[in-house]
Amino acid sequence: MPSLTRVTTNRRSQSDQRRREFEAQVLLALERLMSDGTPYTELAVQRIAAASHVARSTFYRHFPDKSQLLIRMADLASQDLFGAAENWWHAEHTDVRHTIAGMRRMIAEFRRHRLVLIALTEVAAYDRDVGRYWRERVQGFQDVICERLIIEQRRGRVDRSCDVTATAIVLTSMVERSISTALGEEQSIDDEQLARALGRAIWLVVYGDPDRSLPR
């Protein structure tokens, strides 16, 4: 006879898998609806539910309002974006080429879900719940940067006079706004140009000299 614990765990695992599949389905539907230029704020819940091929009642069980919907969709869309950034900050980077490579990955991940992430930054400006979610998500990334800057200071790679908190805020804001602006509707900057410009700017802020390779 199977144990109750094993049965419960299996059911929970199946339920989690169904939820992940459902949320991925909604994310694809939402991005399709926005691809013609329709702003997120103009999309009715009923239209999003219909495009996702689920009943409105089922949709509301998962997402009680559009703020919670956007938060969850943005969470899904930004997982790989922040993952790429955090992996770079945790890795060894000894010259500006590594920084540029990290920016390439971040830009590529942002472009995959550009519409949802741009909607997130716009709605976060006036929606309390969405704004709180985004601030907390960005704060988590800033903490990663602070930890790495402290390590680099101990190694003698970053000037001891560098204020790690202020520098983390500068770097996070610079990258987030630069990518959001460059990948907006009216911009035509090439992704590679953006990666190189951001990589050089980050290296200058952190290490001070784009032509200097750091000792391993």
Measured distance CA(89)–CA(122) in Å, rounded: 27
The CATH code of the domain that includes 110 is 1.10.357.10
Count of other CB atoms within 10 angstroms of residue 93: 23
53 and 83, same domain (yes or no): no
**pLDDT tens digit string along 156-209?**
999 999 999 999 999 999 999 999 999 886 667 899 999 999 999 999 999 986
96 and 117, same domain (yes or no): yes
140 and 33, same domain (yes or no): no
87 and 18, same domain (yes or no): no
* Residue type at 178 in one-letter notation: S
50 and 78, same domain (yes or no): no
36 and 86, same domain (yes or no): no
166 and 121, same domain (yes or no): yes
Measured distance CA(138)–CA(172) in Å, rounded: 8
Contact, 158 vs 152, CB < 8 A? yes
90 and 167, same domain (yes or no): yes
Contact, 91 vs 11, CB < 8 A? no
HSE-CB at 203 with a 13 A cutoff on CA atoms is: 23
Residue 97's nearest CA partner among 203, 216, 208 is 203
Of 49, 64, 79, the domain-final residue? 64
Residue 7: pLDDT over 70: no
Contacts of 84 (CB under 8 A, 6+ apart): 102, 105, 106, 108, 109
Residue 69's nearest CA partner among 145, 9, 127, 15 is 127
**pLDDT tens digit string along 14-57?**
777 888 889 999 999 999 999 999 999 999 999 999 999 988 88
Contacts of 82 (CB under 8 A, 6+ apart): 137, 140, 141
Contacts of 146 (CB under 8 A, 6+ apart): 164, 165, 168
| Domain assignment of residue 210, given as a range | 71-216
- Report the range of poorest mean pLDDT among 55-64, 73-82, 184-193, 206-215: 206-215
Residue 59's nearest CA partner among 46, 78, 42, 71 is 46
53 and 96, same domain (yes or no): no
Of 43, 64, 85, the domain-final residue? 64
Of 45, 64, 83, the domain-final residue? 64
Measured distance CA(103)–CA(1) in Å, rounded: 53
136 and 48, same domain (yes or no): no
Domain count of the fold of the chain: 2
The CATH code of the domain that includes 41 is 1.10.10.60
188 and 215, same domain (yes or no): yes
35 and 82, same domain (yes or no): no
**pLDDT tens digit string along 115-148?**
999 999 999 999 999 999 999 999 999 999 999 9
